């Protein structure tokens, strides 16, 4: 209880600027953890969707039947499924208008590349914030620490006899800002590295599928 009360007291009696630093770091930390949990669900869902679609795609079913099943759903497709849907739709549309033209395959590949770019943007949403939080949070905390220590030493100059007991509370409250900076930065850096790796692996899977699907369409077109 004493330790908790001491911590609360140090924070409540900190200077206005140090309090603002702590509040900023707390907001960064809370938002980072929100992104961490949300991104975890999004990436796990994207991986499950990719696994499920690959099982259907390579099961030997006809592409026309697979496309009809996907396009009949009320919700829009995403991920690998979305790339397939837009690519096959454009392939069929162009093939009807110009059955032997090389533009057919090029058009299908172009819309799939556009779809892939959109999927990449969606997968990478919020990752830059985690990277930024991991980079700047320690410096924000250090700024609060330097400011707090500076105020403590300035206060010492106004007294005749300086003691450790006089400067210790100011230094302690300043060091809390550093601790909060690390608390905000470390999870953000770990999450960014982990999720960046997952996103890269998903992008590689999407890109590989796009190339494989393009080869299938080329054989059908020739």
CA distances (Å), 1 to each of 7, 175, 179, 180, in order?
10, 20, 20, 20
Q: How many helices and strands in the chain, by DSSP H and E?
A: 7, 0
Handedness of CA 82, 84, 87, 92 (dihedral sign): negative
DSSP-derived letter for residue 76 is P
DSSP-derived letter for residue 61 is -
Instruction: Tell me: pLDDT of 10 over 50.
Output: yes
pLDDT class for 2, splitting at 50, 70, 90?
very low
Helix/strand/coil (H, E, C) string of 208-222?
HHHHHHHHHHHHHHC
Q: Domain map of the chain by residue range?
A: 2-221
Q: How far is Cα 25 from Cα 33, in angstroms, rounded to an integer?
A: 12
Q: What is the pTM of this model?
A: 0.82
pLDDT class for 160, splitting at 50, 70, 90?
low
Averaged pLDDT for residues 66-93 = 89
Per-residue confidence (pLDDT) for residue 1, from 0 to 100: 38
Averaged pLDDT for residues 196-209 = 96
* Token digits of residue 140: 């924000």
């Amino acid at each position: 209880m004493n330790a908790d009360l001491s911590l609360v007291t140090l924070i409540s009696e900190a200077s206005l600027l140090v309090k603002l630093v702590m509040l900023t770091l707390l907001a960064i930390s809370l938002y980072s953890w929100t992104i961490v949990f949300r991104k975890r669900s999004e990436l796990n869902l994207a991986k499950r969707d990719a696994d499920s679609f690959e099982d259907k795609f390579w099961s030997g079913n006809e592409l026309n039947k697979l496309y009809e099943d996907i396009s009949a759903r009320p919700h829009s497709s995403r991920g690998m499924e979305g790339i397939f849907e837009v690519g096959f739709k454009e392939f069929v549309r162009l093939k009807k208008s110009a059955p032997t033209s090389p533009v057919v395959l090029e058009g299908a590949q172009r819309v799939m590349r556009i779809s892939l770019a959109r999927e990449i943007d969606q997968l990478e949403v919020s990752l830059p914030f985690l990277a930024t939080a991991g980079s700047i949070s320690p410096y924000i905390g250090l700024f609060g620490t330097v400011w707090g220590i500076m105020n403590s030493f300035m206060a010492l100059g106004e007294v005749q006899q300086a003691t450790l007991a006089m400067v210790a509370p100011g230094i302690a409250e300043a060091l809390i800002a550093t601790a909060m900076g690390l608390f905000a930065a470390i999870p953000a850096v770990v999450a960014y590295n982990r999720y960046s790796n997952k996103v890269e692996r998903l992008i590689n899977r999407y890109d590989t599928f796009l190339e494989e699907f393009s080869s299938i369409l080329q054989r059908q077109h020739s």
